[in-house]
Structure 1
Amino acid sequence: MSAPRPGGPPEGSPWDEQAPGPLWSEPGTLLEHVAVAVLGIDEEGRICYWGPGAQRLFGHEAADVLSRPADVLFPAAPLDGPPAAERLAERGRTLGYWRARVPTLHRDGRVFDCGFRVFPVTGGDGRSVILGLASESEGLDRVKTNLAFLDALFETCPIGLVMLDENLRYVHLNQALADMDGIPIEDHIGRTMEEFMITSDGGEYRRMLRAVADEGRPVVSTLVVLRTPGRPDRDHVRSVSFFPLSRAVGTRPGVGGLLVDVTDREQALVEAAAGRQRLALLDRAAARIGTTLDVNVTARELVEVVVPDFCDGSVVEVVEWKDEREVFDPDSVLVTRRIAARTCLPPPAPELVGGLESVTYPPGSAIHEALRTGRPVCVPVDDAFMARTVIHRARARLLIDSGLTSLLIAPLIARGTVQGITMFGRSSGWPPFTEQDLSLAGELASRAALCLDNARLYSRVQDIALTLQRELLPTALADSPSVRVAHRYLPGSHATEVGGDWYDVIDLPGGRVALVVGDVMGHGVPAAAAMGRLRITTKALARQNLEPDSLLRELDACAQDAGIAYATCLYIRYDPATGLARIANAGHLPPLLRRRDGSVETIDEVLGVPLGVGDVPFLTTDIELRDGDTLALYTDGLVEARGVDIDEGVATLRSQLGGAEGTLEEEADGILARLLPEPPGDDAVVVLARIRRLGPGTGPDSRD
């Protein structure tokens, strides 16, 4: 017999737990094939506890062994040594814990090798019991061997291995996968796999993993193109296989996976993915750039499209030419105005891109080169670039500290005119700009330049239209002794904000007063010009003392001569001596009349057809106005705003007019606040005229 080892049984003896075992591959989980028995041995060496697993391992019912000597579980003791049960109990009591392999006797007479773990337990009565845990050695060997194999596999396998829980969060992964992701193992644990997989497949990869977890459908050798936060500079192609983990008692469900980087083998797939990403970026640019005719908004849309999907930072700068016909001179200093900037880098990058409004570039700069050739250029952020392009030392220091390592400069040119430049910057986490990137930047810049040019042209036309409209509309309406007027004009907030709404109050011979409101169809300079022509003509005709229907007939002829296809006009002539108001209407919304008692009437006896139609007579109607009555004239922008039905809008105006209190100016403000809580989509006009009778028996208007 070999000499005993210190603290343990002799090597090679039945008590040696280091006996080797084969590698097994079997269905189910490892522990499902290992029965664990729990038994207790009292101070007299008798069995005092028999757990459920003991019957499976030893074959004895509890009633057959309880209170019997524990020697019943072991073969006969050798002549030169103590019985196995006695030795187990003695070692457990003296050492506190003992493990060994012991030949064990099954109820059917079979002898098998069994591993024991024994230790003392003291009960409440002070008595000591030896508690034993026993398992068949062959099964334990298989578990240990397989676990050792799995540990070695996770430690040394060059293929990425991963275990995910049912929420697709990392439970375990090997170093190979961590290296592929470029992120340490510990930073994965507890986070979802989706956080490390940046794909452009519309969520297909995530849905595939979810199907494995929920439906148990394995995935074998599927190719996936992705990027990871640890390696965002390039696309990777991985061949992935996923399978559901077995759901043994006490374990959580989940997903296991094997991932192989096959990027080099699948380079064509990588290039195709990059091409799809460029097309997707162009699609987003087409949808999001140029949604308004506003220069600043268009520039912001460009930088929002490219950051962070194409670069880490971007700016848009426009050249403020004194004369649009001015030709770019590459030998002159260039001054630009920065109108948009965006970056996803930490400070000081935000200060770099957003800290300037006016930028000066010396002759020979990289910006001059891009504008001279009309093509995008790519430059590294180095000393040569600083010397050629950045003239302020403080700005140069910000650029160096920002983390940007390369810039792509694309000219903004439209209709042969230099509009400005856009710059795209990348940090060291990105690969250098490629020829494909330059081509993409050129397409983005071309679209942005066209949109900017359209916005600039529109702004010029809009300025002309606004100036014309302001000059043609009355800035103030003088009160007459018989009519006190409050008026409001609110331009539309849409791109076509200059419209054809107009109004006027005209003093007539004999103390009479004319109230006029009209609307020319269309927007912009043509509508403003047509409106001005009709307003001036109406004023000239009114002072000829024409009847309202005759005036509209002449105005209709003027509209036809001027090519004004559609315009409306409401004309009211009031005589304070008689209290009579004569009304003619060319297709305009009917006026409202609020009596002094608060009741409101709609004067819709005559509506007529719009101006410009021709050969249709206009009718008139007379109403009597009393002291303190209020007439309300308005255009459709007041009652048809934001998709509100026009009848509903008129009803709201009637209600507001009937309940209004205070001065005439306060009433006008209240109407706008009630009917137009937001800027209107179209021009809106409201004219309130408070009537004063000057005939016998009339008194002052106490409401004003």
Structure 2
Amino acid sequence: MPSRRSGEEAAPGPVWSEPGTLLEHVPVAVLGLDEKGRIHYWGPGAQDLFGYEAAEAIGRSAAVLFPRAGADGVDSAELLVERGLTLGYWRVRMTARHRDGAVFDCGLRVFPVTGAAGRSVVLGLASRSEELDRVKTNLAFLDALFETCPIGLVMLDEDLRYVHLNQALADMDGVPIEDHIGRRMEDIMITSDGGAYSGLLRAVADEGRPVISALVALRTPGHPDRDQIRSVSLFPLSRAVGTRPGVGGLLVDVTDREQALVEVAAGRQRLDLLHRAASRIGTTLDVEVTARELVDTVVAEFCDAAAVEVVDWMDEPEVFVPESPLRTRRIASGTTLPPPAPELVSGLTHVTYPPDSTIHTTLRTGRPICVPVDDDFVTRTVIHQARARLLIDSGLTCLLIAPLIARGTVQGIVMFGRSAARPAFSDQDLSLAAELASRAALCLDNARLYSRVQDIALTLQRALLPTALATGPTLRIAHRYLPGSHVTEVGGDWYDVTELPGGRIALVVGDVMGHGVPAAAAMGRLRITAKALARQNLDPGDLMAELDACAQEAGIELATCLYIRYDPGTGRALVANAGHPPPLVRRPDGTVLMVDDVLGVPLGVGGLPFGTTEIALHEGDLLALYTDGLVETRDQDIDEGVRALCDRLAALTETSGEPEALEEAADTVLAGLLPDAPTDDTVLVLAHVGRRPPVEPVR
């Protein structure tokens, strides 16, 4: 047994601590007595406690150790033996004497031990009473401290996981003690300090540096909406034999004292939310995507549920009339609450609010409103009884309704909802909601205006593009127009096929630089002019010069155009080109010819003549006209794209003039060349060539 070391100083007070195991704190002597009270066994701890070596003690009466008799005159040694044998276990305090004559109070535990031969020995465990009292006092103090101390106490292991904590800390966290054990401290004390607190914990565990009264701003899973400030003191735990390393801590809630820090922390969180909203909301010019970005930003962090609704304006102008019912369309929603909350926020597309509803109030004043979810609100705002019951049963206890108003136009509303697990919305929350709604409304208005312009441009473009092209036995046509991405949906690509006097046919394809309404309008002007000039039977070069003059007069700065006049009687085709990708001719044997003999300047430049070239088209040839959207991408220049188109045309297995085969050929070419998300408009015209006898001129 370990013994008290020589030279060890006395304890400085009634409650003190020292490194080592419990037996190092309280040396225990082990000795054995026979039936007559003689010392039969002498352990090392006994030598340390009483001062006798084993040779001196064994065989002697235990009275040398316990000289005083009991109150009834019975010898102390005999009493130990008698009580040990009869009671089986006896605890007593006796006066003991050291070999040097010093007297001390001794605590004893005695019990019988029977050997193999059936002989019984009374085994005794002895310690100094003062040391036992000190340890018991320490343990009692620690038990009382953990049970009654109002300060949070915690013990963490080397991985900073909870090993032990008191109820005061569990109450502070709002999490039961058993739910702490085994979890990391930073999982309970959630900070927004960029990892500074976690680094502080790790430094104490790894480097043994204590921390005194550090102020930490945090939230906990048990109180997710309550900002707290705690004074935290941390210290490394003893690494004595039999103990595990780790960190101990004392935590005091000083939120009331440090309210300024709480407000700073809350303000920082609001600023962080606004910063994220600025970067997440309005990334596209799509109304529904913008609304979804707003919902994703606020749900869980700011509220338990959110919905964005836009007003369905039935008539122009878009004027809000408080005295009339308001009809909205819900375009985004989300919630973290269990059913029936998901059905409440997403189960309805169109909503009608009666006059004098809370929605009318917030739109009339232009300011957010916070309302409790009670009978009065439900009666004034919700028309359908089933929806009213869903709202009551959803778990939401308060709503914050903010108007979406931009450039003087009411866009709609955004609603934020909280359950009883969160505090009601504060004045700061109303200000934050107003800022979020203002930013979202501007993004929604931009998206709405863009969508309106796009609709106008699309309508104009579709009206100006041909719905059907002239075809016949000598020229069968398959044509495709594909808009680019959402951002460049409307462009200036165009094409046409026109029957000319004498049975000839004109094919034209062009591309006006730019997108939107101006490009669509310029495209329509050039297409109509080209059709009119073609019917005047002008030479292709002269036609291109007239078209160039028209472009200059109209202020069209840059446009490309390809014009082909084909005579089925002779098989001759005259080609004029104003800066457009060259036409391709696929022969029946799979050979592909690129017609690039003439390449004039684009329309709108002016000052230069346009030449023509003549090619011979044979029965079964396939003529391909296209715009640069088919052959030019960010990762591929136009020459590589044209070569790829040639390869696709050569690889076609069916090029007959049957309509189904021609349509399939057009789809095959597009599928092989266009990316999944093209960024530019694309036109492809495939013309299968036939022949007929020439028409005799009328005399």
Report the equivalent of 1:4: none
Which shifted more, 110-119 or 137-146?
110-119
State the Cα deviation string for residues 558-577 of structure 1 (Å, max 9, x = none): 11111111212223334444
Report the equivalent of 2:460: 468
Correspondence 1:144-543 to 2 at 5 A: 144-325=136-317, 327-543=319-535
Which shifted more, 578-587 or 643-652?
643-652
Counterpart amino acid of 1:668?
A
CA contact (8 A) 2:42 2:54 kept: no
Residue correspondences, number? 672
Per-residue deviation, 1:133 = 7.4
Counterpart amino acid of 1:309?
E
CA contact (8 A) 1:600 1:654 kept: yes
CA contact (8 A) 1:48 1:66 kept: no
Counterpart amino acid of 2:514?
G
State the Cα deviation string for residues 299-328 of structure 1 (Å, max 9, x = none): 222222222222222222222222232543
CA contact (8 A) 2:26 2:132 kept: no
Q: Return closer, same or farther for 1:615/1:210 CA change in 2, 3 Å cut-off.
A: farther
Unaligned runs of 5+ in 1: 1-19, 697-704
Report the equivalent of 2:583: 591
Per-residue deviation, 1:120 = 7.8
For 2:110 and 2:688, the matched residues in 1 are separated by 108
* 2:685 is equivalent to residue 682 of structure 1: no
3-state SS of the aligned residue for 1:678? Answer: coil
Counterpart amino acid of 1:381?
V
CA contact (8 A) 2:68 2:95 kept: no
Counterpart amino acid of 1:180?
M
3-state SS of the aligned residue for 1:598? Answer: coil
Which shifted more, 626-635 or 642-651?
642-651
Per-residue deviation, 1:175 = 1.2
For 1:548 and 1:107, the matched residues in 2 are separated by 133
For 2:644 and 2:64, the matched residues in 1 are separated by 104
CA contact (8 A) 1:39 1:47 kept: no
Pick from 665, 668, 690 the counterpart of residue 666 of structure 2.
668
Pick from 540, 555, 566 the counterpart of residue 558 of structure 2.
566
State the Cα deviation string for residues 195-216 of structure 1 (Å, max 9, x = none): 3233333333333333333443
Report the equivalent of 1:553: 545
Q: Return closer, same or farther for 1:542/1:115 CA change in 2, 3 Å cut-off.
A: farther
Q: Return closer, same or farther for 1:641/1:250 CA change in 2, 3 Å cut-off.
A: farther
For 2:650 and 2:56, the matched residues in 1 are separated by 104
Per-residue deviation, 1:433 = 2.5
For 1:203 and 1:529, the matched residues in 2 are separated by 57
CA contact (8 A) 1:239 1:260 kept: yes
Per-residue deviation, 1:91 = 7.5
* 2:24 is equivalent to residue 33 of structure 1: yes
Which shifted more, 623-632 or 493-502?
623-632
CA contact (8 A) 1:73 1:106 kept: no
Per-residue deviation, 1:612 = 1.5
Counterpart amino acid of 2:147?
E
For 2:468 and 2:99, the matched residues in 1 are separated by 116
Report the equivalent of 1:6: none
For 1:560 and 1:582, the matched residues in 2 are separated by 25
Report the equivalent of 1:5: none
State the Cα deviation string for residues 339-387 of structure 1 (Å, max 9, x = none): 2222222222222222322322222222222222222222222233233
Counterpart amino acid of 2:665?
E
Counterpart amino acid of 2:579?
G
For 2:529 and 2:118, the matched residues in 1 are separated by 119
Q: Return closer, same or farther for 1:98/1:454 CA change in 2, 3 Å cut-off.
A: same
3-state SS of the aligned residue for 1:293? Answer: coil
CA contact (8 A) 1:75 1:111 kept: no
Q: Return closer, same or farther for 1:535/1:70 CA change in 2, 3 Å cut-off.
A: farther
Report the equivalent of 2:621: 629
CA contact (8 A) 2:485 2:680 kept: yes
Which shifted more, 595-604 or 311-320?
595-604
CA contact (8 A) 2:33 2:62 kept: no
Q: Return closer, same or farther for 1:113/1:368 CA change in 2, 3 Å cut-off.
A: same
Per-residue deviation, 1:71 = 6.4
For 1:290 and 1:671, the matched residues in 2 are separated by 36
Per-residue deviation, 1:497 = 0.7
3-state SS of the aligned residue for 1:411? Answer: strand
CA contact (8 A) 1:114 1:135 kept: yes
Q: Return closer, same or farther for 1:118/1:515 CA change in 2, 3 Å cut-off.
A: farther
For 1:123 and 1:666, the matched residues in 2 are separated by 103
Counterpart amino acid of 1:484?
R
Length-normalised TM-score, structure 2 = 0.84
Which shifted more, 494-503 or 546-555?
546-555
3-state SS of the aligned residue for 1:454? Answer: helix
Unaligned runs of 5+ in 2: 1-10, 655-660, 695-699
3-state SS of the aligned residue for 1:673? Answer: helix
CA contact (8 A) 1:76 1:83 kept: no
CA contact (8 A) 1:22 1:145 kept: no
Q: Return closer, same or farther for 1:353/1:76 CA change in 2, 3 Å cut-off.
A: closer
For 2:42 and 2:691, the matched residues in 1 are separated by 116
Length-normalised TM-score, structure 1 = 0.83
For 2:689 and 2:117, the matched residues in 1 are separated by 110
For 2:229 and 2:554, the matched residues in 1 are separated by 69
Per-residue deviation, 1:415 = 2.7
Q: Return closer, same or farther for 1:621/1:83 CA change in 2, 3 Å cut-off.
A: farther
For 2:119 and 2:479, the matched residues in 1 are separated by 105
Which shifted more, 66-75 or 30-39?
66-75
3-state SS of the aligned residue for 2:686? Answer: strand
Which shifted more, 325-334 or 183-192?
325-334
3-state SS of the aligned residue for 1:556? Answer: helix
For 1:417 and 1:49, the matched residues in 2 are separated by 99
State the Cα deviation string for residues 378-406 of structure 1 (Å, max 9, x = none): 22222332333233333322222222222
State the Cα deviation string for residues 595-647 of structure 1 (Å, max 9, x = none): 33334454444433322122233344444444433333322322344755545
Counterpart amino acid of 2:216?
V
Which shifted more, 153-162 or 582-591?
582-591
CA contact (8 A) 2:400 2:430 kept: yes
Q: Return closer, same or farther for 1:27/1:545 CA change in 2, 3 Å cut-off.
A: farther
3-state SS of the aligned residue for 1:277? Answer: helix
CA contact (8 A) 2:31 2:46 kept: no
CA contact (8 A) 1:21 1:141 kept: no
Q: Return closer, same or farther for 1:74/1:500 CA change in 2, 3 Å cut-off.
A: farther
State the Cα deviation string for residues 636-684 of structure 1 (Å, max 9, x = none): 3223447555455444434333323243322222232233352322222
CA contact (8 A) 1:295 1:452 kept: yes
CA contact (8 A) 1:314 1:353 kept: yes
3-state SS of the aligned residue for 1:148? Answer: helix
**What RMSD, in angstroms, separates the aligned Cα atoms of the two structures?**
3.9
Counterpart amino acid of 1:678?
D
For 2:504 and 2:116, the matched residues in 1 are separated by 116
3-state SS of the aligned residue for 2:256? Answer: coil
